[in-house]
Structure 1
Amino acid sequence: MANFTLPPLPYAHDALEPYIDATTMQIHHGKHHQAYTDGLNKALGSLDAKFQSMDVVDILKNIDTVPDTARGAVNFHGGGYNNHALFWNNMKKGGGGEPSGELADAIKKAFGSFADFKTKFSQDSTTLQGSGWGWLAKNASGGVQFVTMPNQTSVWTRWSKEKLTPLLGLDVWEHAYYLKYQNKRADYVAAWWNVVNWDEVAKRFKA
């Protein structure tokens, strides 16, 4: 039986105030992320033991090998489980600013400048229809690109064809911002840049 557990937050619920409020963090992590964790365990429970012993990233990379009967649930809950684990670690108290070093160079090469990257990331995440995520991803050539993913579908599911690796993700589901920002998704996106943990993103880029 698969036994994924909810990863702990790497900081206190109120650490990202005033940009992301403590109540939202408590509900988002303790309720929503927990639900994806439980859903993943349940979905994998109906499959062969080989899937139950795999790392979630390996499952997502090979999503096409998951039997049809459970693939949708594994894609949704597995994506939600991993997306949120990355999301928490990609933020920190006192974050924001700009990256440096190799990551900064890759962003400049791909987008022209950090400002242009930030504009594209913000606009495309804000205007994404329905629920989903905006992502900075590393590609097969070692560079970076921006992609949006629907619902909880993980960037890792594009590994077999495109070798995309998720680096920095922004959750634009309403549960991520509605208590504080209501329908003003653009305000939430603008505020989120103040908590981005560029050290963590750079570490993922190097890895």
Structure 2
Amino acid sequence: MSTNLENFSKAAQSGNTYVLAPLPYADNALEPVISAHTMSFHYGKHHKAYVDNLNKLLADNNALAGQSLENIITATAGQADKAGIFNNAAQVWNHMFYWHSLSPEGGGEPPANLKQKIEASFGSVDACKKEFANAAVTQFGSGWAWLVQEGDKLAILKTSNADSPLTKNSRPLLTIDVWEHAYYLDYQNRRPDYVNTILDKLINWEFAASNLR
């Protein structure tokens, strides 16, 4: 996957049609933290539905059809008459980014260049993980928690529903999906367990490092 976030979504595009980009690992590769059963619904049904809905919504929109997801997201953000297009395009992008934010070989220590920035911004990797987890756990309702780059500093933010840092002049490095469909089959209402286990076992620090400016 390209580290050029402006073209991150190329794998989801085939001409003027949007497609379900392949997972970067097998659907059972994240077990036992995230089960293949959850992946079959989350990726195979929810993520796919956003792709299908986006294609339907853009079928009669020549101005946006065929543009990158990044362009569609920034062009439609905050426009009530294009909320459906924004929501589905952003959710396709957010989900692609989430799958790459996880790795079967995740967890552990960040690469040196990322660790240095984390320590400069948060004091320690543990402090960063604690703030990341808090944002994910306290996001009310559906949404996302993000590790982002803002200039020379790193920060944690959370967004509701389909919103993303792409609309906030922040550069996303990692995300955790806290929509209930991301974890409910495996963790029921135990969102903190899901979040903390991801941060300990699956979080893809290498991906975050590759996204640094």
Count of residues in correspondence between the two structures? 198
Residues 105-124 of structure 1: pairs in structure 2 closer than 5 A:
105-124=116-135
Q: What is the deviation of 1:67?
A: 6.0
SS of alignment partner, residue 39 of structure 1: helix
* Aligned partner letter, 1:134: A
CA RMSD of aligned residues (A): 1.6
Moved more, 28-37 or 1-10: 1-10
Give the counterpart of 1:58 among 66, 71, 74: 71
Equivalent residues of 2:20, 2:47 under 8 A apart: yes
* Residue 169 of structure 1 pairs with residue 175 of structure 2: yes
Other-structure match for 1:32: 46
Which stretches in structure 1 are left out of the alignment for 5+ residues?
none
* Residue 202 of structure 1 pairs with residue 209 of structure 2: yes
Other-structure match for 1:147: 157
Q: What is the deviation of 1:121?
A: 0.7
TM-score by length of 2: 0.87
* Aligned partner letter, 1:58: N
* Residue 178 of structure 1 pairs with residue 192 of structure 2: no
Q: In the aligned structure 1, how far is the partner of 2:96 from the partner of 2:181?
A: 16
Compared with structure 1, are the counterparts of its residues 189 and 67 closer, same or farther at alpha carbon in structure 2 (3 Å cutoff)? closer
TM-score by length of 1: 0.90
Identity of aligned residues (%): 37
Q: In the aligned structure 2, how far is the partner of 1:156 from the partner of 1:95?
A: 24
Q: What is the deviation of 1:79?
A: 1.0
Q: In the aligned structure 2, how far is the partner of 1:62 from the partner of 1:103?
A: 31
* Aligned partner letter, 2:126: A
4+ long deviations beyond 4 Å? none
Which stretches in structure 2 are left out of the alignment for 5+ residues?
1-14
Equivalent residues of 1:91, 1:195 under 8 A apart: yes
Q: In the aligned structure 1, how far is the partner of 2:80 from the partner of 2:190?
A: 37
SS of alignment partner, residue 119 of structure 2: helix
